[in-house]
Chains A and B, each alone.
Chain A
Amino acid sequence: MSTQILMPALSPTMEEGKLAKWLVKEGDEVHSGDLLAEIETDKATMEFEAVDEGRIGKLLVAEGTEGVKVNAPIAELITEDGEAAPVAAASVKEPVAAPKEVAGTVAPTPVAKAALIEPQVPDGTEMVTITVREALRDAMAEEMRRDPDVFLMGEEVAQYQGAYKISQGLLEEFGAKRVIDTPITEHGFTGLGVGAGFAGLKPIVEFMTWNFAMQAIDQIINSAAKTRYMSGGQMSCPIVFRGPNGPAARVAAQHSQDYSAWYARVPGLKVVAPYFAADAKGLLKAAIRDPNPVVFLENEIVYGRSFPVPKLDDFVLPIGKARVIREGKDVTLVSYSMGVALLLDAAEELAKAGIDAELIDLRTLRPLDIDTVVASVQKTNRLVTVEQDWPICSIGSEVCAQVVEKAFDYLDAPPAKVSGKDVPMPYAHNLEKLALPSVEEVVAAAKAVLYRS
């Protein structure tokens, strides 16, 4: 009996890859666990092992072939007759596709380009397109070159080059004194970082994800945020806490959560949550220079997305400023981080229905630039907030409350909130999709505040 060996997905976001090298040839006997091939994914080169026993028949894909789709047959395996049929061949019919919005592989959003406002830079500045991942790395590298007191520490940041490859190349350039792998001991190394900050160094503490910072939230809030106040202004903590935040893909409740509102409430902290690469770079540089503790919330799914970044020697953006990313007259849509992607898609849908949405990327959550939102609502008279966080006591709640306080007379409809659902994140593909806010929900909310259906 012969079955097919299929191209495997070797990362949560992989859709195709390169068959870099065959490690077997036609006619070879293979056993479970034998290496079959080397496969290049979007992030790394991985080895691929045999599951079923048998003899390699035809190799269907030559080594060196790029763009081999996940689940495409790559070789034949001749198995002993009578053995139970492996599931491989049978189940290709309906592979569950990774959820589009969260897979990080969505095609670049072709939003009404003309209407999108580019970052403000001097006339004639060259723009280069890089990933958010590269923008963050460049920001850290530039600041480390500029100031010898800046150092990076966290789990897997040095030798492994970062669990999500944000610190790629930093160990090589700055050495083990300044790029430090820690044990898995968040409460300890966060406190250590805060202490080093008290002593005048400028630590960047990377959390592998913000979920794990829950082990350390005491040091972030009780030590880093409050000490300047408690010491009557004598002692500050110039530290950056950074890492991926918010829902990831299919990792369930303990690894998939937006912590924005947790930190945005705390006096003594600044909180930044960018979407675009230019903002990631300019704001991370500002955060590293800031004399206060800054919580810098990134997003795993956004890391791989590419956007233009100004080619300037020292591109620093002010913390605390929202940005109108698309002007419109009918309704104001406000979000931050990954939620901005929903705004862009929703605006396009709304445009088709003749609705002209103004989009605001908050970029900083504390201090919150409510003036930019209020100015927009004074023009459009309608507000929808969008976030992946839970709905209760969220950033959206705060924006709505402040707009009601400051611009009540301008509102032609009650503000609407679109958010993640009020449940822990489920693992199942269909439930996870339901738990996350969707473009359709944003469009529906915008229409609702316009009393259109």
Chain B
Amino acid sequence: MSDPSVAEGDGVNTRPTPSSATLKKFYHDMLLIRRFEERAGQLYGMGLIGGFCHLYIGQEAVVVGMQNALLPGDQVITAYRDHGHILASGMDPKGVMAELTGRAAGYSKGKGGSMHMFSVEKNFFGGHGIVGAQVPLGTGIAFANKYRENGAVTLAYMGEGAANQGQVYESFNMAELWHLPVLYVVENNQYAMGTSVERASAQPKFYKRGESFNVPGEEVDGMDVEAVFEAGRKALEFVRGGGGPMILEMKTYRYRGHSMSDPAKYRTRDEVQSIRDRKDPIDQFGKKLVDRELASDVDLKTIDKEIRLIVNEAAEFAIEAPEPEASELYTDVLA
């Protein structure tokens, strides 16, 4: 989904400011995720989505900023909170929603569900349920990039809770040792389930977590899509240019419970409300667009209306689509 107007030529060392069309696209992409997730939450409430469903509401700027900084061929891998990542990679909301309802038209034929989205077409490597496991996997994808000398960079996302898993540090070490083209993005949304950062982390500055391995890091305002995009572009240039791995710590926030069944009593309603009021990535960015006269309130409202239509269509599709054939139970086990 990289925009040629912002990443000219080979994308290295060229940093024009994003065009107004690109900025509007940021707004659109973030709002699509927001509205999609709200609808997914509703379908869960109706029993149409089952199991665990982790919504991305509040964190939209991270994935949209980063995705727009990628070049074609770059890869992405993340954990179970993955609806935003697959939507940002450009997959059709219908196929994503149908995966959530467990239908044959879902991108994993209904076999993976909310936590296990994949798209080979868009270089989106999933959708992984074991906290931390995606980090060495992403490092391995980067290893393949180096092996093939294809110039691609792998984006390996993790939560700040995941950043305490040992395999993350084993990955940092190998990535630096072998100079692998991998960019680690820590989505620090302040909580791992009910555990706040301070209660789980001896070093809560996650961008510093690579220091023992000489992996550089940077802290980014993950509620500001432009800041994410800029930091992402810079870091991708560094990694792509042969600088080795890098860590970006995105300071962000999740509004909803960890999953649909989390009552989130470990924080106050005021805490959530205050972040929404002051820092909401979509509201804040919308205001900026209006202030800079790049869009009017009416334009923004129109975008919202279009997106609501897309999301409603996706929901209708996902509700009407048939379940997988019974024979699918035994397919795809082995190649």
Contact = CB atoms under 8 A, between A and B. Distances in A.
B111 A47 contact: no
Interface string A1-31: 0000011111110000000000000000000
Q: What is the size category of the interface that chain B forms with chain A? A: 35 or more
Interface in A24-68: 32-33, 35, 41, 43-49, 51
A430 B130 contact: no
A249 B41 CA distance: 17
Residue of B50, B164, B257 most packed against chain A (CB within 10 A): B50
A430 B323 contact: yes
B120 interface: no
Q: What is the size category of the interface that chain A forms with chain B? A: 35 or more
A116 interface: no
A163 B193 contact: yes
A107 interface: no
A160 B194 contact: yes
Interface in B28-77: 34-35, 38-39, 41-48, 50-52, 57
Contact of B111 (A45, A86, A92, A426): A426
A212 B193 contact: no
A252 B129 contact: yes
Interface in B229-286: 255-257, 260-261, 263-266, 269, 276
Given A84-B308, A430-B324, A185 B165 contact: yes
Chain B interface, DSSP helix/strand/loop, else mixed? loop
A155 B45 contact: no
Interface stretch (B83-91, B146-154, B177-185, B312-320): B312-320
Contact of A8 (B46, B162, B333): B46
A156 interface: yes
B146 to A, nearest CB: 27
A429 B111 contact: no
Contacts of A254: 115-116, 128-130
Interface string B302-335: 0001001100100110010001101011100100
B199 A181 contact: yes
A155 B193 contact: yes
A255 B129 contact: yes
B81 interface: no
B161 interface: yes
A41 B261 CA distance: 9
A230 interface: no
A95 B147 CA distance: 49
A96 interface: yes
A249 B51 contact: yes
A250 B192 CA distance: 22
A404 interface: no
A87 interface: yes
A273 B334 CA distance: 31
21 contacts: A32-B38, A43-B263, A47-B269, A86-B312, A87-B42, A92-B46, A98-B50, A156-B194, A214-B130, A250-B50, A250-B113, A251-B51, A251-B113, A252-B116, A427-B50, A427-B51, A427-B102, A428-B102, A428-B103, A428-B110, A431-B324
Interface of A: 6-12, 32-33, 35, 41, 43-49, 51, 70-71, 83-88, 90-92, 95-98, 155-156, 159-160, 163, 181-188, 211-212, 214-215, 248-255, 421-424, 426-431, 434-435
Given A51-B39, A160-B193, A426-B328, 17 more contacts: A9-B47, A32-B35, A44-B263, A87-B39, A91-B46, A92-B46, A95-B47, A159-B194, A159-B199, A160-B195, A184-B161, A184-B164, A185-B166, A187-B166, A212-B131, A428-B324, A428-B328
